[in-house]
Amino acid sequence: MSSAIQFALLYQRQTLVCAWVVSREVRPWLLELADGERLTAHPNRLLHTWQAEAEAGAAPRDVLARHERDWPALGEALAATAAARLPAEQPLAFAQAARAVLGDAADPWAQANLLRAMLSDRRRFRHEGGAGHSFVRRGAEALRAHDAAAAEEAARAAWLERALAWCEAAQRGATPPPCPQGLAEALESLLAEQRQSPHWATLAKPLRLTAARQEELQLTLQRLLVTAGAWGDWPRIWLRAAGVSPAFDPAVLEAARREAERPVSTAGRRDETAWVTYTIDAARTFDYDDAFSIVETRAGGLLVAVHIAEPFPDWAPGHVLFDEAARRISSVYTDDAIYPMLPESLSHGRLSLVRGQPREALTFLLRIDGGPGELVELRRGVVAVADNLAYDAAERLIAAQPDTWGRLAVLCDEMRRWRRAHGAMVAEARDVSVDCSDPAHLALIERNRDESASRVVEELSIATNRVSGAYCRREGLPALYRVQRPPSRTAAGRSAQREGTRSGAASGAARFSLQGGPHMGLACERYVQTTSPIRRFADLVMQRQIAEHAVAGRMTYTDTAQLKGWLERAEERMGAYAEAERRSAEHWKRRYLAQHPGLIVPGEVREIHDDGGARIWLTGLQMAVEGRLPSGASSGEVFRFEVQSVDEDRQQVQVRPAP
């Protein structure tokens, strides 16, 4: 017998191999495989080492080569023997397994081969690691699960191969084979969610997306979707990126159907159906969540009822519809669609304050006398709306009834002046949206927010939310307050006029707070939104909190951690939704401009670039574009511009001075 040779078992290029140790005088050790390839490995990378006596005259490589020739058949036999002798679903250290399979007198090569066999057979044996190598033999049920998972993995690998082949053909301009099922969905997910997409890890690198600039990434994926015949439009991508769910799960729809059949509950509610009550909203609105009644005319003022649609009080965390509202956080509105927080059978039906139907409501009786508005009574009631007025119809009502609705409009103007005197940012503003009812012939819709009907709705809503905040503060109710830092009057006013924001919105982002604080942009000491409970989850929560306390003296939500979780989700979701709504609105305006080439529009120079170009605010459309300027133009000047080009894919509009 010659001296002992040390052998090792290790992974090399993801393959389990045996090697002999040429030298271990220094680290890493020098090893040699049966084919003569040499490599180095640190001892802690080696799965197992053993010593065996070399046969006389046999080189270590020859010994290793002979064992490698015998290995395939030997390995399968050892794995089968181990599977037959070891108990199922019972963790065993390898030393125990070796004694059970080989007996106590097994030589080092037999033990090494058994370890290699069990490590190689991942179907029958689960390697649980550890210094001594622990294994579990899978039982029949575990084998079935393993085989199913392996089949799924093989199917995924085959799908990925087909998907990448399709993408490669599409990118080089060849006619690709039929698009593999699921690839279009994966590409849309990549475009919308990018690094957060579940497909990023497998598809991004082969498609060369990881180092691509944002514009390149978007255009690459868009072209692939066009080739696949699956391209929709950019708003769909932005809405998906924002987490907007276009459809409800069947369980949610079924729950909504059942709730929509519930009769109106009059228990514990005042009958307010005799009051003449109106909603005032955009013509395309169907989710009416607030309505107004003039209850009394008084010297110097009015007693006004603000009725807020009240979802069923027995909804609570764990109720499928409450949880769905908590997941969605709010409705999302684009020029071409509404994505409601609650299914339409509720938001447009049973809970909506639609004309002629009795509805449960939380009623705020407010004394309106030109000041900020004072809460007289808070109660639950049943209302019946006389009409759902669009803004133009509400203007006619105000003009036709000067002693009531006309007077209310005047008092709301005084409320606005009061707020302005106390620091609120109130800027005249217009809404410009696009009528998408005929996509081939888009039209602009303009609404002046400074008209009487708009001021009535805005001021009564602000007053209701202000008294809600004051109520929570006075009664010590845990609340989701809206707070806003003091605004810069000059910047806020200019931004509000240019961007078309609501009063105060330009003064810095309002945010939720559990501690509370002033809403300086609206000149409110405390502000809690309660006026849109079928559109916004925070309003639903706070309406419930205030109503239960006012009527029954109970606090519904006292868990600070729960409220904080809702607050954080609302901040995150509503920010994403607002961005998607903004980008969608600009998309439809670009579409409108694309249908009107050469259109002449006024624009204000916002920023002059070094290359002579400029950022221009199109005042008539309320959107920013790029363009060239007349000679000598300076920032802040207003000129007439001609629409030169529209690139919808790059989301760009170019204008030039009008001739």
CA distance 616 to 636: 9
- 216: DSSP letter: H
Give the rounded percent of residues in the chain with a pLDDT score beyond 70. Answer: 96
Report yes or no on 400 lying in a domain: yes
What confidence tens digit (pLDDT) does each residue in 151-175 have? 999 999 999 999 999 999 999 988 8
Q: Are residues 368 and 507 in the same domain?
A: yes
CA distance 463 to 456: 11
Q: What's the pLDDT band for 1 if we cut at 50, 70, 90?
A: very low
- At residue 25, φ and ψ (nearest 5 deg) are -70, -30
The residue to which tokens 């009502």 are assigned: 397
Q: What H or E segment, with its residue span, contains residue 547?
A: helix 537-552
The mean pLDDT value of the chain amounts to 92
What confidence tens digit (pLDDT) does each residue in 57-69 have? 788 988 899 999 9
- 341: DSSP letter: S
b/e code 85-123 from CB counts within 10 Å (16+ = b)? ebeeeeebebeebbeebbeeeeeebbbbbbbbbbbbbee
Report yes or no on 239 lying in a domain: no
Q: Are residues 632 and 648 in the same domain?
A: yes
- 267: DSSP letter: T
What confidence tens digit (pLDDT) does each residue in 506-522 have? 446 899 999 999 999 99
Q: DSSP letters of 553-596? A: S--S---HHHHHHHHHHHHHHHHHHHHHHHHHHHHHHHHHHHTS
Residue 428's pLDDT is 59
- Are the CB atoms for 609 and 615 separated by under 8 Å? yes
- Are the CB atoms for 13 and 59 separated by under 8 Å? no
Answer yes or no: is pLDDT of 497 > 80.
Answer: no
Residue 26's pLDDT is 85
CA 537, 542, 545, 549 dihedral sign is negative
- At residue 258, φ and ψ (nearest 5 deg) are -65, -45
Pairing of strands 134-137, 38-41: unpaired
Q: Are residues 355 and 412 in the same domain?
A: yes
Report yes or no on 456 lying in a domain: yes
Domain boundary among 138, 172, 191: 138
- Are the CB atoms for 239 and 246 separated by under 8 Å? yes
What confidence tens digit (pLDDT) does each residue in 88-140 have? 999 999 999 999 999 988 899 999 999 999 999 999 999 998 888 999 999 99
Beta strands in 353-497 (DSSP E): 358-368, 374-384, 387-390, 430-435, 443-448, 481-483
Report yes or no on 241 lying in a domain: no
CA distance 413 to 460: 11
SS3 string of 478-546? Answer: CCCEEEECCCCHHHHHHHHHHHCCCCCCCCCCCEEECCCCCEHHHCECCCCCCCCCCCEHHHHHHHHHH
Answer yes or no: is pLDDT of 254 > 80.
Answer: yes
Name the 3-class secondary structure at 55: coil
Residue 427's pLDDT is 67
Q: Are residues 325 and 433 in the same domain?
A: yes
- At residue 465, φ and ψ (nearest 5 deg) are -70, -30
Among 531, 516, 522, 523, which Cα is nearest to 476's?
516
Residues 243-254 have a mean pLDDT of 96
Q: Are residues 63 and 28 in the same domain?
A: yes
Q: Are residues 330 and 367 in the same domain?
A: yes
Q: Containing domain of residue 225, as a range?
A: 145-232
CB atoms within 10 A of CB 210: 11
CA distance 547 to 42: 70
Rounded-to-10 torsion of CA 612, 618, 624, 626: -30
The pTM of this model reads 0.81
- Are the CB atoms for 497 and 622 separated by under 8 Å? no
> Which residues on adjacent β-strands are paired with residue 379?
363
CATH of the domain at 638: 2.40.50.140
Name the 3-class secondary structure at 363: strand
Start-to-end C-alpha separation, the chain? 103
Q: What H or E segment, with its residue span, contains residue 241?
A: helix 234-241
Domain boundary among 138, 168, 195: 138
Q: How far is CA 139 from the centre of its chain?
A: 42
Residue 59's pLDDT is 87
Q: Are residues 293 and 434 in the same domain?
A: yes
Q: How far is CA 596 from the centre of its chain?
A: 34
Number of domains in the chain: 4
Answer yes or no: is pLDDT of 402 > 60.
Answer: yes
Pairing of strands 652-657, 125-129: unpaired
Encoded tokens for 247: 């459809």
Report yes or no on 242 lying in a domain: no
CA distance 209 to 495: 37
Among 111, 141, 115, which Cα is nearest to 127's?
115
Q: What H or E segment, with its residue span, contains residue 22?
A: strand 15-23
Report yes or no on 245 lying in a domain: no
Q: Are residues 322 and 345 in the same domain?
A: yes
Q: What H or E segment, with its residue span, contains residue 179?
A: none
Separate counts of helices (H) and strands (E) for the chain: 17, 26
Residue 309's pLDDT is 98
CA 345, 347, 352, 354 dihedral sign is negative
Domain boundary among 197, 232, 267: 232
Q: Are residues 131 and 159 in the same domain?
A: no
Report yes or no on 367 lying in a domain: yes
Q: What H or E segment, with its residue span, contains residue 79?
A: helix 60-85
Report yes or no on 54 lying in a domain: yes
C-alpha distances in Å from residue 540, one per residue of 10, 286, 313: 61, 18, 10
Q: Are residues 34 and 82 in the same domain?
A: yes
Residues 192-208 have a mean pLDDT of 95
Q: Are residues 134 and 162 in the same domain?
A: no
Encoded tokens for 135: 């294994």
CA distance 115 to 108: 11
What confidence tens digit (pLDDT) does each residue in 438-475 have? 999 999 998 888 899 999 999 999 999 999 999 999 99
C-alpha distances in Å from residue 449, one per residue of 430, 459, 481, 501: 5, 12, 25, 10
Residue 488's pLDDT is 56
Q: Are residues 364 and 450 in the same domain?
A: yes
CA distance 295 to 532: 22
Encoded tokens for 114: 């058994």
